[in-house]
Chains A and B, each alone.
Chain A
Amino acid sequence: MAFVQNVPFFSIMLSMFSGIVSSILPGKWARRLNTFMIIVVAALSAWLFAFMATSDIGSYTYAMGHFPAPIGNELRAGVLEAGTALFFCIIMLLSLWGGREKQILEITERQQNLYYILCNLLLSSLLALIYTNDLFTAYVFIEINTIAAGGLIMVRQNGHCIEATIRYMIMSLLGSGLLLMGICMLYDLTGHLLMSNIKEQVDIIMAAGTYRIPMLITIGIMTVGLAIKSALFPFHSWVPDAYGYSTVSSGAILSSLVSKGYIFLLIKIFYRVIGFDTIAGSHILNILFIFGLCGMIFGSVSAIGENDIRRMIAFSSVAQIGYIYMGLGLGTEMGVIAAVFHLLSHGATKSLLFVSAVGLTDASGGSRHFTDLTGAAFRNKTAGVGFLVGSFSMVGIPVFAGFVSKLLFAEAAVLLPNWKMFPTLIVLAVSTVLNAIYFLKTVIRIYTPVKPEVLAEKGFECKHFKQQVLFGVTIVLFIIVNLILGMKSQPIIELIEQGLHNFM
């Protein structure tokens, strides 16, 4: 075994231990440690990614503590896992950089290091969800993830944030309760907790044709549990408050990473635990498909009616999660590839939107209402360009990441052999139009010039690139990530396809 194959274990442990060390460090050093740790984990993941993409082993399992299969705990890595870990690290680092100025203002000095403890724990739990090969480990890390995410929302201690946290916790607990019940029932049916062992037993059970109803219920409650946790419509009631009122880094991390971690785990469960043919043969996917379609429409309609820019972006997340579940619900491999690609493109775009929206509101005296945002893009040019790119990507203008994922969804829909083709295409078109309405409305508003005397009256200030170098650099890096996803999509799609094959 090559040394690089230890990377999954190293990256989980590194982020977890830096969380523990941060608890005794002052805020500034905790922040430095956090930045250093994320860069190291990103570099390690990139190393593993390069190794997995060039070698022909496909994927491998890593026995923790060298205990053999049914007893020991296992990690498992392939090209898709390493790539997702790398992507998550990059987005997390950029979100933290982009929101740093705001976060220093909004969080008290004494709690600065607590914020970074939560970030480190969140990253380690996300990495564990990506790499683990054991269902119960996945459950434990899901709970760590939930608690850390709750902390990230609540760290800015006003009434809105605490209320949002409690709503988030309630929905998450419903989801994880269902998931735990599902895992216990699956353990009861198969006698194993490791994914590969469960898969063998599930194949035997399905071939024998016994336990059909328990199996269906198990798959159903696990899927619904993870869907609730990743805010699929109609379980999205906590989303606008949690993403809209928390400090901006938290909003960006929650919307672009936390919900994606659960979806990644769900895809893993589909492929590696139950088997995609079994899932496609049950009717669970149709339910996901229909709720995904409803989410695409209702999320966009709610966003159009919203007057607060951050809440608008949050509602747009509901619509985008709908896209991902719609892709999974198609029940074909093409659909899953499109869903995974959208997972990446939405992650890159939504965090960019959140970060640049904060630049715009700061240039408007902290107000988040549309009337005050008029001309904000001229007062903070970097944020304006960032918001423009994010909007174009969400609407699906070519060159940007969102276009490729919409194209992939449409391709997957056209290739479908069943009734799902027309609803998918129609809803995709309607949803794109709705996206265009609210994003372009905002873009036009921020690029509408305002008379200088009005500005002077309201006391809005201009911000130049030199005053906010870190923010500017972050926006540029975000745009580069978006363009890479949009223009170099073909190799990425091939890698996703290869990664999904290795899942089996």
Chain B
Amino acid sequence: MGVNLVQNIGEAVAMILFGIGFANLFFQKNLIKKIIGFNIMDTAIFLFLAEKGYIAGRMAPIVVDGIQDVEAYINPIPSGLVLTGIVVSVSVSALMLSLTIRLYHRYHTLDLDEISAKLRKEEM
């Protein structure tokens, strides 16, 4: 158990971060904190992928000095997935932030429950 944990410390940290981010996105009332939680969650996934693609003692998969041997490089697929994931994460964060700005201009608060309460009052 102990040895496994030391060997896989990166993955363990990624899982803990994922939990923290997930809980923040779910339970925080403040919209900005929710978005921070979302970013922590996504970054944790990228850490997990990067850990999984890394092979100790090898280089990044960019051919320099003409070395074409597969054994010299780490697994490039997880890095590719991380890149795609970052693009998605950035665009979703931007969308969420712009929505937050809209709501803040209208209701002068970042608390989602308070916004719902104000909406209900508006209706009456």
Contacts and interface: CB of A to CB of B under 8 A. Distances in A.
Given A136-B84, A181-B18, A162 B103 contact: yes
Nearest to B25: A174
A159 B122 contact: yes
B55 interface: no
A184 B18 contact: no
Given A163-B115, A163-B116, A170 B34 contact: yes
A187 B75 CA distance: 12
Contact of B42 (A146, A169, A177): A177
Contacts of A173: 25, 38, 92, 96
Contact of B99 (A146, A162, A187): A162
A256 interface: no
Interface string B24-47: 011000010010001001100100
A184 B75 CA distance: 14
Given A159-B119, A162-B99, A184-B52, A143 B92 contact: yes
Contact of B45 (A147, A170, A180): A180
Contacts of A165: 99
Interface string A120-146: 000000000000000010001001001
B100 A184 contact: no
Residue in A154, A157, A181 whose Cβ sees the most chain B Cβ within 10 Å: A181
A188 interface: yes
Contacts of B52: 184, 187-188
A335 interface: no
Contacts of B96: 166, 169, 173
- Interface of chain B: mostly helix, strand, loop or mixed: helix
B61 interface: no
Interface string A155-193: 001011011011101100110011011001001100001
Contact of B31 (A146, A157, A166, A187): A166
A143 B45 contact: no
Interface in A179-228: 180-181, 184, 187-188, 193
Nearest to B48: A184
Contact of B91 (A147, A159, A174): A147
A78 interface: no
Contacts of A8: none
A169 B95 contact: yes
Residue in B41, B88, B115 whose Cβ sees the most chain A Cβ within 10 Å: B88
B22 A143 contact: no
A375 interface: no
A174 B48 contact: no
B84 A154 contact: no
B1 to A, nearest CB: 14
A150 interface: yes
Interface string B80-107: 0100110010011001100110110011
Contacts of B103: 159, 162-163, 166
B62 interface: no
A150 B25 CA distance: 17
B112 interface: yes
B74 interface: no
A159 B123 CA distance: 11
A177 B41 contact: yes
Given A136-B84, A170-B25, A177-B22, A150 B119 contact: no
Nearest to A151: B95
A493 to B, nearest CB: 38
A154 B99 CA distance: 9
A184 B112 contact: no
A99 B61 CA distance: 52
A62 B88 CA distance: 26
A394 to B, nearest CB: 27
A140 B81 CA distance: 10
Contacts of B85: 180
A193 B81 CA distance: 11
A160 B119 contact: yes
Contacts of A154: 99
B29 to A, nearest CB: 11
Contact of A150 (B48, B78, B95): B95
A174 B84 contact: no
A162 B92 contact: no
Contacts of A147: 91-92, 95
Contacts of B106: 159, 162
Given A167-B112, A193-B77, 13 more contacts: A143-B88, A147-B92, A154-B99, A159-B106, A162-B102, A162-B106, A163-B119, A166-B31, A166-B96, A166-B99, A166-B103, A180-B85, A184-B49
15 contacts: A159-B106, A159-B115, A160-B119, A163-B112, A163-B115, A173-B25, A174-B22, A174-B25, A177-B18, A180-B45, A180-B85, A181-B18, A181-B48, A184-B52, A187-B52
Interface of B: 18, 21-22, 25-26, 31, 34, 38, 41-42, 45, 48-49, 52, 77-78, 81, 84-85, 88, 91-92, 95-96, 99-100, 102-103, 106-107, 112, 115-116, 118-119, 122
Which 3 A/B pairs are nearest by Cβ-Cβ distance? A143-B88, A177-B41, A166-B99
